[in-house]
Amino acid sequence: MLRARLRRIDFAASRRPHAYAANSTAVRERIRALYGRDTTVIPPPVDADDFDTTAEKELGTFLWVHRLVSCKRPELVLETFRGLPYRLTMIGHARSR
């Protein structure tokens, strides 16, 4: 019951902005599906040509990049890698309260 009310409130609030911007086509599709609004995709300022895709990869290493918030479950990631023969590097930012 509460979920339906919150969805109505959220949908009504989604009508107020004049425009939306998304950082990927996946986000644009979510905005379209949830709010029925079209968006402009503004890609992150990264030049893919700066990366050497032919460089040799370091086997057995994993990189996890996210906000350090509970909903991203960083503890579960750590527990999953504990005791495995892989090296995990975690990068993130946590907002202090």
Same structural domain, 37 and 60 = no
Position 97 in a domain: no
The pLDDT value recorded for residue 41 is: 95
DSSP string covering 7-55, please?
A: HHHHHHHHTSSS--EESSHHHHHHHHHHH----EE---S--GGGS-TTS
Position 73 in a domain: yes
Over range 66-79, report the average pLDDT: 88
- The pLDDT mean for the chain works out to 89
- pLDDT band at 97, cuts 50/70/90? low
Q: Provide the residue range defining the domain that includes 32.
A: 2-41
Residue 88 pLDDT > 70, yes or no?
yes
